[in-house]
Chains A and B, each alone.
Chain A
Amino acid sequence: QSALTQPASVSGSLGQSITISCTGTSSDVGSYKYISWYQHHPGKAPRLMIYEVSDRPSGVSDRFSGSKSGNTASLTISGLQAEDEADYYCNSFTSSGTLVFGGGTKLTVL
């Protein structure tokens, strides 16, 4: 199972919005609602930000939102804050009954 495709890096200014894409295939992203997003600060444990395409766990800011169109899922962060600077990973269920992560996107807040 190949990793899902994410941009290596994105950047945005404080207060702006950014979107991170996550492209898979009809065998994963395109066929299932089981898409999740994780925030990972180096040296810490990853944190679940979005599950089932667009649902937010309790405690996650509503500045984080998720969507999906075809084989591409997206994570949007609005009102960028300094603490949003981190690596972000998408994850999808696959037709093999496994999970697969994206390659990760480094978000820089300017």
Chain B
Amino acid sequence: QVQLVQSGSELKKPGASVRVSCEASGYTLSRHSINWVRQVPGQGLEWMGWIDTNTGTPTYARDFTGRFVFSLGTSVNTAYLQINSLKVDDTAVYYCARDLAIGRLDTWGQGTLVTVSS
């Protein structure tokens, strides 16, 4: 059974960093890219970008350049989202999703709530 399991909720202070993990099971991570999607409370889904799980090459949406970093685990079937210099406005649920083909996000993680508050 194909699954993406994300790490648990995080509470961080402004200026800190957070890393969200997305572990794939039931398939090999390198076969399909992983996309990251954000949902700010009360707002819609925002596409953050994707990582080529073969090469490790990330592509970021315009609004997610600079502080956001997509990466892959060295020895496990896991992708990561790191957010640096956290701001209160980064408070959101972050999802990872497998892309079977272009924009065909067929399997999603359960979401990770990141709360940024002083």
**Are B108's CB and A46's CB within 8 A?**
yes
Give the size range of A's interface with the partner.
20 to 34
CA of A36 to CA of B37, assembled, Å: 15
In chain A between 87 and 110, which residues have their CB closer than 8 angstroms to a CB of chain B?
87, 89, 91-93, 97-104
**Are B47's CB and A100's CB within 8 A?**
yes
CA of A47 to CA of B108, assembled, Å: 8
Q: Taking CB as reference atom, which chain B residue is nearest A1? A: B62
For chain A, what secondary structure do more than half of its interface residues adopt (helix, strand, loop), or is it mixed? Answer: strand
CA of A104 to CA of B10, assembled, Å: 26
Number of residues on chain B facing chain A (CB within 8 A): 23
- Given A1-B62, A45-B111, decide whether A93 and B102 contact each other with a Cβ distance below 8 A: yes
**Are A34's CB and B103's CB within 8 A?**
yes
**Are A102's CB and B44's CB within 8 A?**
yes
Q: Does A57 contact B (CB under 8 A)?
A: yes
Q: Which residues of B contact A103 (CB under 8 A)?
A: 44
Which residues of chain B have a CB within 8 Å of any CB of chain A? 35, 37, 44-47, 49-50, 59, 61-62, 95, 97, 101-106, 108-111
Which residues of chain A have a CB within 8 Å of any CB of chain B? 1, 3, 32, 34-36, 38, 40, 45-48, 51-52, 57, 87, 89, 91-93, 97-104
